[in-house]
């Protein structure tokens, strides 16, 4: 399976349009590379490509990725569809850019319902060119030979949903396997807590692309000049600390581990930071937009 990291930033990207935190300033002044909002492209055969999430930056991400160029017919595209891990704006707004293509969309029931009512993108897309929507991730076989299963990892609903139904399927982790190579990847860019089942999923996987939004539980509050109320406000487990993802990932020494969905406040954005050195010593990578690897 080929994997391309189309974008590696959390909502807002790096730099964020209205932010003057240290990292955003570093990017504006050319000291750090910019990052677009998180999404991935995968393929089992280099011809049929599937998007994992559709970020608001999808247009630039598609244009900048050689494998995703259109053709040979006048409206042909190698993009077959989108798998949505959640309904957050930074993961679904790119669907509007894909209008007119009539692709396949996979998501869980609460995510499909949010895209029907609170943010009615499904009906909107259908009026350009009907999409095919499929519920859940279990037993999916994607064209190109990839197999997918899903794991519910959280009940965090997007803020734009006024009265969300409690449902642990608001957020999913995916396991994608390429039977041709035997390789597999776990994808979990939004982890508000470490759920039951995630260790098992990671144990049977070669590579994991995981939520690295915040390095520590106070950085968001510090950047906006407020006492942070902690993880519940962030909606993401921090990397560091006793309950952080780095401690959990230490249970998986043989797994290739990559952090993504990095917030613009995150010191991991700076390759020379102590935070980055610590994470790399622990065997976890931070890659740039456009990074490609095989699983």
Q: Footprint of Zn ion on this chain (CB under 5 A)?
A: 16, 19, 21, 24, 264
- For residue 67, which phi and psi values (nearest 5 degrees)? -70, -15
Among 4, 6, 11, 210, binds Mn ion (CB under 5 A): 11
Give the nearer residue to Mn ion in terms of CB position, either 88 or 178. 88
88 lines the binding site for Mn ion (CB under 5 A): yes
Give the nearer residue to ligand MLT in terms of CB position, either 91 or 276. 91
235 lines the binding site for Mn ion (CB under 5 A): no
Closest CA to 295 of 255, 260, 259: 255
List interacting residues with ligand MLT (CB under 6 A): 10-11, 88-90, 190, 235
Q: How far apart are CA 72 and CA 61, in angstroms?
A: 20
Give the nearer residue to Mn ion in terms of CB position, either 1 or 209. 209
Locate tokens 């049929």: which residue?
Answer: 48
86 lines the binding site for Mn ion (CB under 5 A): no
What are the angstrom distances between the C-alpha of 200 and each of 18, 34, 149, 171?
A: 40, 34, 13, 17
Minimum CB separation of residue 91 from ligand MLT in Å reads 7
Give the nearer residue to Mn ion in terms of CB position, either 10 or 217. 10
Give the nearer residue to ligand MLT in terms of CB position, either 53 or 240. 53
What are the angstrom distances between the C-alpha of 277 and each of 19, 142, 143, 213, 274?
A: 25, 37, 39, 17, 5
Among 57, 90, 177, 289, binds Mn ion (CB under 5 A): 90
Binding segment toward Mn ion, per CB under 5 A, in 9-17, 152-160, 214-222, 265-273: 9-17
21, 268 in Cβ contact below 8 A?
Answer: no
Minimum CB separation of residue 23 from Zn ion in Å reads 6
Q: How far apart are CA 59 and CA 24, in angstroms?
A: 22
Q: How far apart are CA 135 and CA 211, in angstroms?
A: 24
Q: Which of Zn ion, ligand MLT, Mn ion, none binds 235 (CB below 5-8 Å, type-dependent)?
A: ligand MLT
Q: How far apart are CA 176 and CA 72, in angstroms?
A: 28
Q: Which residues bind Mn ion (CB under 5 A)?
A: 10-11, 88, 90
């Amino acid at each position: 399976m080929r994997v391309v990291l189309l974008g590696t930033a959390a909502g807002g990207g790096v730099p964020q349009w209205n932010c003057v935190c240290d990292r955003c300033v570093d990017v504006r002044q050319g000291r750090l590379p910019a990052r677009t909002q998180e999404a991935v492209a995968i393929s089992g055969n280099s011809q049929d490509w599937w998007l994992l999430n559709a970020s608001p930056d999808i247009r630039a991400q598609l244009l900048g990725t050689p494998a995703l160029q259109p053709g040979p017919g006048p409206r042909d595209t190698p993009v077959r569809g989108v798998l949505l891990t959640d309904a957050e704006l930074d993961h679904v707004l790119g669907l509007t850019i894909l209008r007119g293509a009539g692709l396949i969309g996979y998501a869980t029931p609460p995510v499909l319902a949010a895209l029907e009512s609170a943010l009615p993108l499904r009906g909107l897309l259908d009026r350009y060119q009907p999409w095919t929507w499929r519920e859940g991730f279990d037993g999916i076989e994607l064209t190109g030979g990839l197999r997918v299963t899903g794991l519910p990892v959280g009940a965090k609903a997007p803020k734009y949903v006024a009265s969300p139904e409690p449902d642990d399927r608001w957020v999913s982790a995916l396991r994608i396997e390429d039977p041709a190579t035997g390789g597999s990847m776990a994808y979990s860019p939004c982890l508000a807590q470490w759920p039951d089942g995630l260790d098992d999923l990671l144990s049977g996987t070669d590579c994991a692309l995981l939520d690295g939004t915040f390095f520590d539980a106070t950085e968001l509050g510090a950047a906006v000049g407020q006492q942070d109320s902690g993880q519940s406000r962030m909606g993401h487990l921090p990397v560091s600390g006793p309950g952080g993802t780095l401690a959990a990932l230490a249970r998986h020494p043989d797994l290739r581990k990559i952090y993504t969905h990095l917030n613009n406040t995150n010191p991991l954005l700076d390759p020379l930071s102590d935070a980055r050195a610590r994470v790399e010593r622990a065997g976890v990578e931070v890659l740039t937009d456009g990074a490609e690897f095989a699983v």
